[in-house]
Structure 1
Amino acid sequence: MPSMHDRIREDLLLHERSLWTALTSADPGPAVEKLCNEDANLLFPSLPILHLESEPSIKEAMAPPFHRFDSFSLGEVRTIVIDLMAGVVTYTIHATRGRKEYNALGSTTWSQGSDGEWRICVHQETMM
């Protein structure tokens, strides 16, 4: 049977992949917003810090074609358990859209709410 920390790492990695599936979808705003806790901050290259009450809003800033990629892959993934209800996933991201490439470093801090669901506290991407 996997240890508690191993199960948390697996959960966090699944959620991170769900985040990237949402980020690369046709309309990521609503799905990403559902993954965020009420105080989440999202830091993307060339955008202001986004949060649930920011101007522009998450939905506005992530309107199509935001992060619209044909494919993405995460590399050098590290999942760090902070405690039983918090963790961080760090990685490199390589994505493509046609012939254009996107290479960045990514980090997402997750916390588990009282409902047992993992939610984003902070997500950051840094161009390489």
Structure 2
Amino acid sequence: MPSIHDRIREEVLNKTRALWTALTSADPAPEIKKLSNEEVNLIFPKMETLTLQDEEHFDAAMKPPFHRFDGYQLDDVRTIIIDLMAASVTYKVYATRDNKEYRATGATTWSQGSDGEWRIVVHQETMM
């Protein structure tokens, strides 16, 4: 049986992939809201920080036909266990959109709620 830390690593890595799958969709807002803690901070390059406290700004920034990427790949993935209810995933992301490359480092920090669900607390991308 895998250790608790191994299970946490697997869960938050799967959630991070779900986040990136949502970011590549035409309408990411509903899925990102489901994945997010109510106090989330989403920090994308060349954008103001998005939060759910300013839902109008959040929805405007992510409104359809929002489509950040046609495809993506995560490399150099590291999962850091903060405690049994918090973890952070760091990685390099390589993505494409209209034959243009996007290269960045990323970090997504997750917390586990009382319902057992892992939700984004902070997500940040930094261009390379």
The bucket for the TM-score relative to the shorter chain is over 0.9
* Separation in structure 2 between the aligned mates of residue 112 and residue 96 of structure 1, nearest angstrom: 31
Scaled by the length of structure 2, the TM-score of the pair is 0.94
Give 1:57 deviation, angstroms.
2.5
Number of the residue aligned with 1:96:
96
Given that 1:89 and 1:107 are in contact with CA atoms closer than 8 Å, whether structure 2 keeps it comes out as yes
* Separation in structure 1 between the aligned mates of residue 66 and residue 45 of structure 2, nearest angstrom: 12
C-alpha RMSD of matched pairs (Å): 1.3
1:19 maps to 2:36: no
> What are the equivalent positions in structure 2 for 1:1-128 lying under 5 Å apart?
1-54=1-54, 57-128=57-128
* Residue-by-residue CA offset, 1:47-82 (whole Å, 9 max, x unaligned): 111100227522211123434322100000000110
* Separation in structure 2 between the aligned mates of residue 72 and residue 93 of structure 1, nearest angstrom: 7
Given that 2:113 and 2:119 are in contact with CA atoms closer than 8 Å, whether structure 1 keeps it comes out as yes
* Separation in structure 1 between the aligned mates of residue 17 and residue 123 of structure 2, nearest angstrom: 13
Give 1:34 deviation, angstroms.
1.0
Scaled by the length of structure 1, the TM-score of the pair is 0.94
Give 1:106 deviation, angstroms.
0.4
5+ long unaligned stretches in structure 1: none
SS at match of 1:2: coil
* Separation in structure 1 between the aligned mates of residue 50 and residue 13 of structure 2, nearest angstrom: 23
Given that 1:30 and 1:59 are in contact with CA atoms closer than 8 Å, whether structure 2 keeps it comes out as no
* Residue-by-residue CA offset, 1:65-112 (whole Å, 9 max, x unaligned): 434322100000000110110000000000012311111110000000
Identity of aligned residues (%): 65
5+ long unaligned stretches in structure 2: none
* Separation in structure 1 between the aligned mates of residue 10 and residue 89 of structure 2, nearest angstrom: 11
Q: How many residues align?
A: 128
Given that 2:35 and 2:120 are in contact with CA atoms closer than 8 Å, whether structure 1 keeps it comes out as yes
